[in-house]
Amino acid sequence: MGLKKKFFQQALIKKYGNLIGLITLVIIVTILTRGTFFTQRNLVNVLRQVSVNGILAVGMTLVILIGGIDLSVGSVVALTGIIAAMSQSLGTIPAIILTLIAGAIIGGWNGFFVTKFKIPPFIITLGMMTIARGLCLVISKGQAISGLNDSFLDISESYISPPVAITAIVLGFLVLAFFTAMQKRKKRLNGQTSNSTIAGIMNILLIFAAAAFTIWLVSYRGLPMGALIFLVIAFAGMCVLRRTRFGRYVYAVGGNEEASRLSGINVKLVKFLVFTIMGVLAAVSGMVLAARLNAGVPTAGVMFELDAIASVVIGGTSLSGGYGSVGGSIIGAFIIGVLNNGMQLLHIPSFYQEIVKGIIIIGAVLMDRKKK
């Protein structure tokens, strides 16, 4: 019996370890900033900052799950921001579509070289990182391109008004709770090993706590559009990985490429699609950033790839592929976002910020190793 309890505790840490880490970090930062951190105003700000990296982290989760890596996303964020800025005259919607297509082409290019010529993702995306950065400077002549349409700025700057946002959140969480309960019931009916009741209660409590927190957060000014885009993409990412064939194949290819191929999976197509999706998400992220900066900036997005990779790794996804989740990466993105914001509030010089961030990343991964 004692043994069972130990396993249970281990499983708990494994499942909620990242979340516990995030909450601890929030508490520490709140104390250090004497509460400034934990105000609605600042938290909404954190949410907006996290969105840009978070969108990338969702895509990067897929890339890392198949055992790949994409170093070009930072440059692609800048390039797509510029493309969006330069095509404003076409109208907002055409500009958005054009930018998404550009992102897909760049990601597809990476995927093409990885699958067709078997070039390691590290190399091809490293090349794309410099190519895209160079293109940024060439087409923008090194200047920030400003003067975006007001309707384009809404991508980041508008808010869903509090009443609408709260209603949506309440409905959303109710649906979530309903489905969780349904699934539990189904599992029990199927006689599958259902988690113990304690875990079930934990889950429900978590859902309620998250709901209460978000309602409190958005009651201030509403939900920022950029954050909404991020949350929708994150949710979609989770659904794709858990519920779809494609998602299953992503895990399989990352776990054992040869066995996947011999099981009839079109491994090349899966890889190609993953890189393409990453490109599209980089474009989305690039547009959110451009809207926030009110300009396409050729030097934007430097080192964003590292933040995205760090989020994924902190979130527990294995760099060798096959194991991990979008949920973990999202928590990872929040950890990095809270860290960045907290250090800004504390006026830690930016040079030191980088060092602290590096240490935290290494620490988080070490903790993760310990657990396994």
Partner 1 sequence: MENEIILETKNIIKDFPGVRALDNVSFYLKEGEVLGLVGENGAGKSTLMKILSGAYPFPSYSGEIFWKGKKCEFSRPKDSEETGIAIIYQELNLIPKLTVAENIFLGREPTVGKTGIISWKRLFNQAKELLNLLNISIAPDENIENLSIGKQQMVEIAKALSYDARILILDEPTSALTDHEIESLFKMINSLRERGVSMVYISHKLDEIFEITDRVTVLRDGKTVGSKLTAELTRQELIAKMVGRDIKDMYPKQTVQINEAVLEVKDFFVNHPFLLGEKVVREVNFQARKGEVLGIYGLMGSGRSELLTAIFGSFPADSAGEVCIEGKRTDIRSTHQAIDYGLGLVTEDRKLFGLVLGMGVGENVTLSSLEKLSWYQIIRKQQEHEVIEKYTQSLKIKTPSSETTVGTLSGGNQQKVVIAKWLATDPKILLLDEPTRGVDVGAKVEIYQIINGLTKKGVAVVMVSSDLPEILGMSDRILVMHEGRMVKEFLKGESTQEKIMFYATGGNDGS
Asked if residue 130 binds partner 1 (CB under 8 A), the reply is no
The reply to whether 261 sits near partner 1 by the rule CB under 8 A is yes
| Separation of alpha carbons 353 and 355, rounded Å | 5
Q: Which of residues 58-117 bind partner 1 (CB under 8 A)?
A: none
Tell me whether residue 14 or residue 346 sits nearer to partner 1 (CB atom): 14
Cβ-contact 290, 113 below 8 angstroms: no
Which one among 286, 322, 328, 337 touches partner 1, defined by CB under 8 A? 322
Which of 1, 34, 141, 190 is close enough to bind partner 1 by CB under 8 A? 190
Residue closer to partner 1 by CB (options 150, 188) is 188
Q: How far apart are CA 354 and CA 359, in angstroms?
A: 9
Which single residue is written with the structure tokens 């093409």? 112
Q: Which residue, 149 or 194, has its beta carbon nearer to partner 1? A: 194
Three-class SS of residue 110? helix
Applying CB under 8 A, which of residues 51, 110, 214, 260 lies at the interface with partner 1? 260
* Sites for partner 1 among residues 232-251 (CB under 8 A): 243-246, 248-249, 251
CB of 239 to partner 1, least distance (A): 9
Query: Could you tell me the smallest distance in angstroms from the CB atom of residue 287 to partner 1?
Result: 26
Place of tokens 């494994």: 14
Structure tokens at 196: 């113990």
- 30 exposure class (CB count in 10 Å sphere: 0-12, 13-18, 19+): middle
Residues 6 or more apart in contact with residue 166 via CB below 8 angstroms = 215, 218, 219
Exposure string of 207-231, with b = 16+ CB inside 10 Å and e = fewer, is eeeebeebeebbeeebbbbbbbbbb
DSSP of 160-192:
E-HHHHHHHHHHHHHHHHHHHHHHHHHHHHTT-
| Residue 3, phi then psi, degrees to nearest 5 | -60, -45
The nearest distance, CB 272 to partner 1, in angstroms, is 15
Place of tokens 């509090």: 162
Residue of 201, 262, 303, 348 that binds partner 1 (CB under 8 A): 262
C-beta of 171: minimal distance to partner 1 in Å? Answer: 22
Relative to beta strand 145-146, strand 295-296 is antiparallel
Size of the site for partner 1 (CB under 8 A): 27
Question: Quick one: which of 97, 123, 259, 359 contacts partner 1 (CB under 8 A)?
Answer: 259
Only one of the segments 68-76, 135-143, 262-270, 279-287 lies at the binding site for partner 1 (rule: CB under 8 A); that segment is 262-270
* Interaction residues for partner 1, span 6-25 (CB under 8 A): 7
**Shortest distance (Å) from residue 32 CB to partner 1:** 39
Minimum distance from residue 372 beta carbon to partner 1 (Å): 12
- What is the binding site for partner 1 (CB under 8 A)? 3, 7, 186, 190, 192-193, 243-246, 248-249, 251-252, 255-256, 258-266, 322-323
